[in-house]
Amino acid sequence: MEQIYTAIQAAADQDAAGFRDAIHSALADKISDALELKKVEIASSMFMNQEDASAEETVSDEDVQATA
């Protein structure tokens, strides 16, 4: 959030380079945060799928043993 205040101050001071840098920094932080959240989401869904597959395999093994 501080980058936004810095960008506003830079705009008020007519500091184009400072404004650009502050906006780029704010956007980079937002992108980084979004990527971290997506990584966690993907990792958890990968492990959930593996657990589901392993549970299905266990059930199918039990079904085979029950019918034998």
| Digitized pLDDT (tens) for each residue of the chain, 68 residues in all | 899 999 999 999 999 999 999 999 999 999 999 999 999 999 888 877 666 556 555 555 555 555 55
Q: What is the pLDDT of residue 19?
A: 97
What are the start-end ranges of the H helices in the chain? 2-12, 16-67
